[in-house]
C-alpha cells in the first residue's frame, strides 16, 4: 500500500497525533522503544556546493510495528520553490517483518514535529505558569512556524497574541496575516510569555537579555550539533527539558555548545507530572531534535486510518 501526501493530509489530525506522540514518548522514556541513532550523510553535490544537503535514515521499533524514515534536507530548495525537507516512511509488522505501507513522510515530519512541541508544552505549562500564558512569540516564518501555530492552538486555547519575526519581513507579514498575528521585531517576539524558535540558524538568534523572566522557550530549529539558535545566557539560565536526553545531548548544538545540563526528559514529565521538578519561577527551555519514534507513531495512525476507510 502506498499512501500519498494528499491521503496523509486527509486522515492525520493534531487532535489524534498529539496524544499518540505523548504515549510514544512516555514509552520511550520507559525503555519500551528500540531506536538507534539516526544516520546522517552529506550528499556532496560537488558540481554545485550550493545544492549540497544531507540524507538521513531513522529506524525505530515500538509495540507491534516497526518503521524506517529516509529524509533529506536541502536548505536552498526554497529558492527553487520546492520543500527543503522531503521524506518517505516504510511501516512494517513487527511479528513477521511484512511491509504494511509505504507513505510520503514530508507532511508527517512537519506535523509530528509540531505535535511533539504541543504535547510538551501542554505538560510543562500548567506546572510552570501560575495562570495560563497568552502570548506566543515566534522566531521563524516557514513551514514549521505555521504548523506549530496550528498544533499549539489545539492544546492552548488561551493563546490570543501571536508575534512573528523573520529575517525576511515579507514572510513574517504573510504568516501573520494568515494566522491572525503580528509581524514584529525580534526583540518584541522574544519578549512574549512563550517563545518558539523554528529557524535554520547556525549562530544564535535568540538572546537571553530579550526574554521575560518567566518565559518558556520551545526550541525546535538549528538542525545539527554545530548549529545554534539560543545563546549561552538562554541555555545556562534556564531549566532544560529534553525530548530525549540521549538524542538532544548528542545532536543539539545549543546543548553541546553551551554545556547546559539536561534536567528532565519529557516522557518522564508525561508519566509523572506530580513528581516533575518543573520550576514555577525562572525560565524553562524545551528542546527537541526530532526522533524516529515520533515518525513511527504518526505513520501507524495514518495506516490505521487508511485501513478503516471503506
Is 117 part of a structural domain of the chain?
no
Q: CB-based contacts of 45: which residues, under 8 Å, 6+ apart?
A: 51, 52, 53
Give the confidence band of 53 by pLDDT, cuts at 50, 70, 90.
confident
146 and 286 together in one domain = yes
223 and 202 together in one domain = yes
Residue 51: what pLDDT?
64
Task: Give me the CATH number covering residue 23.
Answer: 3.30.1780.10
Residue 221: what pLDDT?
93
Q: CB-based contacts of 271: which residues, under 8 Å, 6+ apart?
A: 26, 29, 30
Residue 207: what pLDDT?
98
Residue 48: what pLDDT?
58
72 and 148 together in one domain = no
For residue 250, count CB atoms less than 10 angstroms from its CB and return exposed for 0-12, middle for 13-18, buried for 19 or more: middle
148 and 90 together in one domain = no
Contact 93, 67 (CB under 8 A): no
133 and 191 together in one domain = yes
Q: What is the pLDDT of residues 111-124, one digit of tens each?
A: 999 999 999 999 99
Question: What are the DSSP calls for 100-155, one per residue?
Answer: EEEEE-HHHHHHHHHHHHHHHHHHHHHHH-SS---EEEEE--SHHHHHHHHHHHHH
Question: Domain of 13?
Answer: 2-108+293-308
Q: What is the pLDDT of residues 248-284, one digit of tens each?
A: 999 999 999 999 999 999 999 999 998 889 999 999 9
Number of domains in the chain: 2
Is 123 part of a structural domain of the chain?
no
252 and 274 together in one domain = yes
Is 114 part of a structural domain of the chain?
no
Give the confidence band of 163 by pLDDT, cuts at 50, 70, 90.
very high
For residue 222, count CB atoms less than 10 angstroms from its CB and return exposed for 0-12, middle for 13-18, buried for 19 or more: buried
For residue 81, count CB atoms less than 10 angstroms from its CB and return exposed for 0-12, middle for 13-18, buried for 19 or more: exposed
Q: How many CB atoms lie within 10 A of CB 1?
A: 12
167 and 284 together in one domain = yes
User: What is the distance between the alpha carbons of residues 38 and 247, in angstroms, rounded to a whole number?
Assistant: 9
Contact 202, 178 (CB under 8 A): no
Residue 47: what pLDDT?
56
> Of 90, 87, 159, which is closest to residue 121 (Cα–Cα)?
159
What's the whole-number mean pLDDT along residues 176-189? 97
Place of cell 521499533: 61
Which of 76-90, 202-216, 295-309 is predicted least confidently?
Answer: 76-90
Residue 52: what pLDDT?
75
Residue 46: what pLDDT?
58
Is 101 part of a structural domain of the chain?
yes
The pTM of the full predicted model, rounded to 2 decimals, is: 0.94
102 and 152 together in one domain = no
User: What is the distance between the alpha carbons of residues 274 and 123, in angstroms, rounded to a whole number?
Assistant: 11
User: What is the distance between the alpha carbons of residues 118 and 116, in angstroms, rounded to a whole number?
Assistant: 5
44 and 147 together in one domain = no
Amino acid at each position: 500500500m502506498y499512501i500519498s501526501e494528499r491521503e496523509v493530509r486527509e486522515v492525520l489530525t493534531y487532535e489524534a497525533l498529539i496524544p499518540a506522540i505523548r504515549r510514544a514518548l512516555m514509552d520511550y522514556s520507559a525503555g519500551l522503544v528500540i531506536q538507534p541513532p539516526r544516520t546522517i550523510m552529506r550528499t556532496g553535490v560537488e558540481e554545485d556546493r550550493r545544492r549540497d544537503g544531507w540524507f538521513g535514515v531513522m529506524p525505530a521499533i515500538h509495540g507491534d510495528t516497526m518503521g524506517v524514515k529516509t529524509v533529506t534536507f536541502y536548505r536552498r530548495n526554497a529558492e527553487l520553490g520546492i520543500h527543503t525537507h522531503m521524506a518517505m516512511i516504510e511501516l512494517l509488522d513487527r511479528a513477521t517483518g511484512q511491509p504494511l505501507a509505504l507513505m510520503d513522510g514530508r507532511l508527517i515530519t512537519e506535523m509530528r514535529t509540531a505535535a511533539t512541541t504541543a504535547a510538551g508544552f501542554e505538560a510543562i505549562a500548567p506546572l510552570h505558569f501560575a495562570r495560563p500564558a497568552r502570548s506566543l512569540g515566534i522566531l521563524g516564518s516557514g513551514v514549521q512556524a505555521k504548523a506549530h501555530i496550528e498544533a499549539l492552538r489545539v492544546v492552548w486555547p488561551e493563546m490570543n497574541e501571536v508575534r512573528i519575526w523573520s529575517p525576511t519581513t515579507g514572510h513574517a507579514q504573510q504568516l501573520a496575516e494568515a494566522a491572525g498575528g503580528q509581524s514584529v521585531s525580534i526583540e518584541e517576539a522574544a519578549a512574549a510569555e512563550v517563545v518558539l524558535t523554528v529557524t535554520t540558524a547556525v549562530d544564535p538568534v535568540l538572546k537571553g537579555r530579550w526574554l521575560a523572566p518567566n518565559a518558556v522557550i520551545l526550541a525546535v530549529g538549528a538542525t545539527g550539533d554545530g548549529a545554534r539558535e539560543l545563546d549561552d545566557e538562554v541555555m545556562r539560565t534556564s531549566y532544560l527539558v529534553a525530548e530525549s536526553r540521549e538524542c538532544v545531548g548528542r545532536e543539539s548544538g545549543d546543548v553541546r555548545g553551551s554545556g547546559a545540563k539536561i534536567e528532565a526528559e519529557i516522557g518522564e514529565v508525561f508519566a509523572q507530572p506530580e513528581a516533575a521538578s518543573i520550576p514555577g519561577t525562572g525560565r524553562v527551555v524545551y528542546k527537541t531534535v526530532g526522533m524516529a519514534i515520533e515518525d513511527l507513531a504518526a505513520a501507524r495512525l495514518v495506516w490505521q486510518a487508511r485501513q478503516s476507510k471503506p
